[in-house]
């Protein structure tokens, strides 16, 4: 194997890319985990349906299982068209996708009265990967062409400022004439595991690949972000997808990777491998050759689109609604990756037009996930039950389309 340590180079003079500037808007609440009084407030990110080119509004509510809220005259408007969300250490982070330009990272918490308060707003490079690691948020800017270096940042979640940075040569990392394009990153013990897809990175087929039947995971030390190894497998295609998490560590310490088998060449799906789940056992340095959960077989021909982890080995999956397709509308399923069981979810709309796919709320009871679903009848919060594989409709967002759900305490 080639020497991977030379791929990671120090980033010099990068501090100007991030500028932390705290701005108090009222009395800030307890910024640590748990909050001050143990009360809960839910945050609903919603895009107004009557407007175009407008970013989300952040709405707050005490209950997401019933009732209605409206975007009309409510919420905190976000600037920019595309926003992505992550919650860590009892703070809510709103990240602007600047489409190549620097983007704002806005941090919120709750004050003593339960009001959503902006506590920091700083500029960053546009990032496609954002995940949590210890007390940090890790982000990655991954160039699809031109520049060969992906930028990796550590953000202190409490201070909302840069804590460390590095870069990795993604052409050298791929080692096949293409470039590694990280799909997401996941904490496993004291390591950062980052799955990637191999892409050509050149017009007219930037996201196409000549290697559709392999998956790769780069393993980084932490906090120094040095590349230690690459774990490979050829029983399925790459894990996750662009802006999609495809690798999760369960309570056992094992990592489960999800592939949609969606690699393409010139826009045509070319993978011959099934959409499947693979496993890296705790502390292992290779994929478990004795484990493969074939999702296409289990589902009757459907492919993986996205996942959210309930806990206790069970996942809520978005599967593409049309058999064999790697794009389009979705429907939901509950899988147990340990027992390798699959069940379609009942109770969801028949024709879902959008979901809150980048920010669903996990209740923490190992059996409930809240997600936003939109159809012709409106946009609602649905609760999904891991035991019964049933969805129940709750809060309606009037005048908006739900793009994210989170929870903070105060």
Mean of pLDDT values over 105-112: 92
pLDDT at 79: 78
Residue 33 has pLDDT above 70, yes or no: no
pLDDT at 123: 73
User: Which has the closest alpha carbon to 57: 408, 398, 407?
Assistant: 398
Q: pLDDT: is 394 or 159 the higher one?
A: 394
Residue 81 has pLDDT above 90, yes or no: no
Residue 27 has pLDDT above 70, yes or no: no
Cα separation, 44 vs 360, whole angstroms = 10
Cβ-count burial of 51 within 10 angstroms (0-12 exposed, 13-18 middle, 19+ buried)?
A: exposed
User: 228 and 221 in contact (C-beta within 8 Å)?
Assistant: yes
pLDDT at 102: 65
pLDDT at 312: 96
pLDDT at 13: 31
Question: Sorting pLDDT into bands at 50, 70 and 90, what band is 337?
Answer: very high
Q: 116 forms bridges with which residues in the sheet?
A: 110
User: 310 and 362 in contact (C-beta within 8 Å)?
Assistant: yes
Lowest mean pLDDT among 31-35, 162-166, 308-312, 321-325: 31-35
Question: Sorting pLDDT into bands at 50, 70 and 90, what band is 323?
Answer: very high
Q: Count of CB atoms within 10 A of residue 24's CB?
A: 11
Lowest mean pLDDT among 45-54, 55-64, 68-77, 287-296: 45-54
Integer CA distances (angstroms), 140 to 127, 182, 231, 280, in order: 5, 8, 19, 23
User: 157 and 95 in contact (C-beta within 8 Å)?
Assistant: no
pLDDT at 12: 30
pLDDT at 9: 39
Residue 54 has pLDDT above 80, yes or no: no
pLDDT at 53: 62
Residue 322 has pLDDT above 60, yes or no: yes
Question: Sorting pLDDT into bands at 50, 70 and 90, what band is 150?
Answer: very high
Token code pair at residue 60: 């707050």
Residue 243 has pLDDT above 90, yes or no: no
pLDDT per position as a tens digit, 343-376:
999 999 999 999 998 899 999 999 999 999 999 9
User: 85 and 64 in contact (C-beta within 8 Å)?
Assistant: no
pLDDT at 256: 98
Question: Sorting pLDDT into bands at 50, 70 and 90, what band is 24?
Answer: very low
Residue 78 has pLDDT above 90, yes or no: no
Angle made by CA atoms 169, 283, 165, in degrees to the nearest 5: 30
Mean of pLDDT values over 199-226: 97
Cα separation, 101 vs 82, whole angstroms = 12
Question: Sorting pLDDT into bands at 50, 70 and 90, what band is 98?
Answer: low
User: 239 and 247 in contact (C-beta within 8 Å)?
Assistant: yes
pLDDT per position as a tens digit, 160-189:
888 889 999 999 999 999 999 999 999 999
pLDDT per position as a tens digit, 268-318:
999 999 999 999 999 999 999 999 999 999 999 999 999 999 999 999 999
Angle made by CA atoms 386, 388, 391, in degrees to the nearest 5: 75
Q: Count of CB atoms within 10 A of residue 240's CB?
A: 28
Residue 15 has pLDDT above 50, yes or no: no
Mean pLDDT score across all residues of the chain: 88
Residue 399 has pLDDT above 50, yes or no: yes
Question: Sorting pLDDT into bands at 50, 70 and 90, what band is 18?
Answer: very low
User: Which has the closest alpha carbon to 140: 131, 129, 148, 149?
Assistant: 129
């Amino acid at each position: 194997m080639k020497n991977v340590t030379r791929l990671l180079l120090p980033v010099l003079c990068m501090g100007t890319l991030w500028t932390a500037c705290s701005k108090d808007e009222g009395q800030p609440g307890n910024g640590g985990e748990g909050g001050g009084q143990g009360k809960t407030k839910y945050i609903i990110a919603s895009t107004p349906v009557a407007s175009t080119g407008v970013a989300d509004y952040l709405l707050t509510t005490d209950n997401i299982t019933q009732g209605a809220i409206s975007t009309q005259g409510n919420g905190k408007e976000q600037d920019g068209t595309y926003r992505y969300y992550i919650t860590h250490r009892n703070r809510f982070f709103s990240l602007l996708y600047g489409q190549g330009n620097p983007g704002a990272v806005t941090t919120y918490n709750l004050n003593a009265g339960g009001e959503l308060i902006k506590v920091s707003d700083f500029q960053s490079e546009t990032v496609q990967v954002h995940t949590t690691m210890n007390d940090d948020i890790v982000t990655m800017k991954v160039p699809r062409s031109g520049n060969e270096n992906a930028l990796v940042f550590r953000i202190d979640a409490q201070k909302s400022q840069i804590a460390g940075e590095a870069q990795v040569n993604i052409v050298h990392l791929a080692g096949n004439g293409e470039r590694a394009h990280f799909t997401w990153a996941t904490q496993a013990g004291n390591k950062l595991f980052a799955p990637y897809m191999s892409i050509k990175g050149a017009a007219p087929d930037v996201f196409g690949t000549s290697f559709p039947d392999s998956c790769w995971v780069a393993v980084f030390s932490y906090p120094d972000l040095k590349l230690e190894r690459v774990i490979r497998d050829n029983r399925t295609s790459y894990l996750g997808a662009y802006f999609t998490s495809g690798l999760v560590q369960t309570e056992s310490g094992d990592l489960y990777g999800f592939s949609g088998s969606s690699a393409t060449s010139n826009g045509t799906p070319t993978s011959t491998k099934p959409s499947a789940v693979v496993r890296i056992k705790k502390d292992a340095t290779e994929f478990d050759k004795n484990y493969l959960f074939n999702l296409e077989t289990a589902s009757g021909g459907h492919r993986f689109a996205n996942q959210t982890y309930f806990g206790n080995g069970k996942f809520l999956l978005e599967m593409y609604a049309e058999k064999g397709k790697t794009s389009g509308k979705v429907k939901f399923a509950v899988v147990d990756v340990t027992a390798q069981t699959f069940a379609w979810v009942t109770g969801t709309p028949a024709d879902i037009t959008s979901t809150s796919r980048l920010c669903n709320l996990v209740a923490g009871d190992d059996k409930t996930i809240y997600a936003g679903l939109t159809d012709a009848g409106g946009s609602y919060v649905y609760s999904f039950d891991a035991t019964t594989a049933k969805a129940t409709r709750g809060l309606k967002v009037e005048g908006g389309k739900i793009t994210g759900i989170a929870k903070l305490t105060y």
